[in-house]
């Protein structure tokens, strides 16, 4: 899995929280974490959610492969309550288990092949306590959301605390043979027209693909959601969100 500048270049990482921030998935997961005593955030990014989950004295570990993201996570308020680990979600083994294992922000989609995806699911299984639950999200390929990631449709204005006004946009290419989507992210600083750019790749496994991989990875899904508002999964849902446990 090649290094992605969007997550590894500190100048681009500065835009991550501006673009993503605290969203519906964060709120849902914080509620789900109530009553849990130990949580593994497998793909924690800049740690906004992870640090919030550690507020109540829980044992919380945040794992991410990008050192630049973890630098932000460690320095944020509450970051000292989390153990931050640089590691690959396909291979990391912490030799401990958790009441809750999560991957949010569509982090599961960075695993581009079925082998990668199965390896990530086995990592989840390896870190679940007998009564623990896992949850993650992946965009439903049926919806073809990537078609909205063109320059015209994705152009947006945002505000950077140092640079001021920033124009952001994406561009996209979809490979029908593999289902992998390659997209570009651009940030242009209004004051001096400097432009930062990154190229990323993500996969869109289907509901059927994910279902088939669960048993092999030692997991069972108890509930499939179709959105972070708690709606049940259906074919036309924008999200595929499994919630489950060890088989």
* 104 and 154 housed in the same domain: no
pLDDT band for 114, please (50, 70, 90 cuts).
very high
Residues 52 and 87 in one domain: yes
Residue 210 has pLDDT above 70, yes or no: yes
pLDDT at 16 over 60: yes
Cβ-contact 105, 241 below 8 angstroms = no
With contact defined as beta carbons under 8 Å apart, do 60 and 39 qualify? Answer: yes
Domain CATH for 44: 3.40.50.150
Q: Looking at the 3D structure of the chain, how many domains does it have?
A: 2
Pair (15, 31) in one structural domain: yes
Read off the pLDDT of each residue in 124-149 and give the average, rounded to a whole number: 98
Contact 174, 146 (CB under 8 A): yes
Element (H, E) at 202: strand 195-202
Same domain, 48 and 125: yes
Under 8 Å between Cβ of 180 and 203:
yes
Answer yes or no: do 94 and 177 share one domain. Answer: no
Is the pLDDT at 47 greater than 80, yes or no? yes
Q: Are residues 65 and 169 in the same domain?
A: no
Our CA dihedral for 89, 64, 3, 21, rounded to 10 degrees, sits at 120
Q: What's the distance, CA 78 to chain centroid?
A: 20
Question: pLDDT exceeding 90 applies to what percent of the chain?
Answer: 97
**Mean pLDDT for the chain overall:** 96
Looking at the fold, whether 208 and 183 belong to one and the same domain comes out as no
The model's confidence at residue 57, banded by pLDDT at 50, 70 and 90, is: confident
Q: Which domain holds residue 182?
A: 143-202
Is the confidence at residue 2, as pLDDT, over 70?
no
3-class SS of residue 17: helix
């Amino acid at each position: 899995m090649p290094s992605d500048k969007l997550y590894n270049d500190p100048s681009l990482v500065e835009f991550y929280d501006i673009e993503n921030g605290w969203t519906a998935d964060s709120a849902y997961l914080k509620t789900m974490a109530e009553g849990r005593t130990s949580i593994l955030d497998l793909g924690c990014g800049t740690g906004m959610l992870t640090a919030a989950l550690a507020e109540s004295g829980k044992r919380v570990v945040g794992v991410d492969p990008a050192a630049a993201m973890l630098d932000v996570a460690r320095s944020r308020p509450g970051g000292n309550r989390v153990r931050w680990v640089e590691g690959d979600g396909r291979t990391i083994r912490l030799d401990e288990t958790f009441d809750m294992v999560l991957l949010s922000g569509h982090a599961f989609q960075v695993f581009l092949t079925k082998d990668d995806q199965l390896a990530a699911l086995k990592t989840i299984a390896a870190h679940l306590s007998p009564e623990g639950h896992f949850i993650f999200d992946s965009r439903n390929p049926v919806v073809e959301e990537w078609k909205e990631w063109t320059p015209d449709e994705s152009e947006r204005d945002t505000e950077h605390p140092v640079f001021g006004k920033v124009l952001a946009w994406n561009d996209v290419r979809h490979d029908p043979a593999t289902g992998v989507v390659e997209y570009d992210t651009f940030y242009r600083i209004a004051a001096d027209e400097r432009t930062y750019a990154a190229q990323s790749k993500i996969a869109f496994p289907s509901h059927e693909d994910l279902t088939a991989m669960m048993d092999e990875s030692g997991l069972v899904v108890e509930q499939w959601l179709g959105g972070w508002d708690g709606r049940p999964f259906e074919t036309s849902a924008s999200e595929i969100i499994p919630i489950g446990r060890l088989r």
